[in-house]
A = this chain, B = another copy of it.
């Protein structure tokens, strides 16, 4: 089993940020500077998947991580997806990205290509996330039996849905902004609480496609948030909503008071 190798550390505004490597890829771990109020020093962990073309330090990832650490005292981990964040691209990666870029430049639908390529990336990324979770649970401030959530939109959903379907340690997840084609069969295996976000006027993902993916989750507790607007116009308050979702579902395990971030 790999263990995380910390390579750099900074702290600001109550958040401790540590770069780490795990074999072939790099990650970030955000943690509260002060030990948790529970006395055990342990806190829940949220795994955060970035979007396509992004990386573990993308602003959306960093911003959401800071909300979760500052608002809930949780740990948050992100890793670069295969072919992302400076990781080498395979010939297949290069080919698929070129096809996607041609479609975008021509104003043609990118959905079928994104679905296919993201499904391929998920096959490579799921075992990496599982190895990362194994390694992070060796850290005393996280531990092997603490609550774990997953938060990822766009490509982060394409990787996260198959991950949560096979990973019983993850007990709550926030997903959104993807197609059902390659994911619905995994969603039907997921029974943990989920929050799913879609954009009502998404120019890439048909409304019915987003609703179909939400419908596929077998969870008794599931919530859809649909906002007016195009694909990239997801309102910022949805990040706050995700934080409250994780506070509801992960925090009770530790019996700590929930502090709402906004």
Distance from A153 Cβ to chain B, minimum over Cβ atoms (Å)? 16
A241-B241, A244-B237 in contact; A223/B226 too (CB < 8 A)?
yes
Q: Are B237's CB and A228's CB within 8 A?
A: no
A248-B237, A260-B260 in contact; A225/B228 too (CB < 8 A)?
no
Let me know if A40 is at the binding interface, CB within 8 A: no
How many monomers of this chain does the complex have? 2
How many A residues, CB 8 Å from partner?
Answer: 24
Let me know if A224 is at the binding interface, CB within 8 A: yes
In the complex, identify which listed stretch (A7-15, A62-70, A182-190, A214-222) lies at the interface while the others stay far away.
Answer: A214-222
- 1/0 per residue, CB under 8 A from B, across A74-88: the answer is 000000000000000
A231 CA / B222 CA spacing, docked (Å)? 15
Q: Is the interface of A mostly helix, strand, loop or mixed?
A: mixed
Let me know if A36 is at the binding interface, CB within 8 A: no
A241-B241, A260-B260 in contact; A220/B228 too (CB < 8 A)?
yes
Nearest 10 A/B pairs, CB to CB: A224-B226, A260-B260, A222-B228, A223-B227, A260-B262, A225-B225, A220-B228, A221-B228, A223-B225, A219-B228
> Knowing that A214-B226, A224-B225 are A-B contacts, what are 17 other residue pairs whose CB atoms are under 8 Å apart, sorted by A's residue number?
A200-B215, A200-B224, A211-B211, A220-B228, A221-B235, A222-B227, A223-B225, A223-B226, A223-B227, A223-B235, A224-B226, A225-B225, A226-B226, A237-B248, A240-B244, A244-B262, A258-B262
Binding site for B on A (CB under 8 A): 200, 211, 214-215, 219-228, 235, 237, 240-241, 244, 248, 258, 260-262
Q: Can you list 20 A-B pairs, Cβ within 8 angstroms, ordered by A?
A: A200-B215, A200-B224, A214-B226, A219-B228, A221-B228, A221-B235, A223-B225, A224-B224, A224-B225, A224-B226, A224-B227, A226-B226, A237-B244, A240-B244, A241-B241, A244-B262, A258-B262, A260-B260, A260-B261, A260-B262
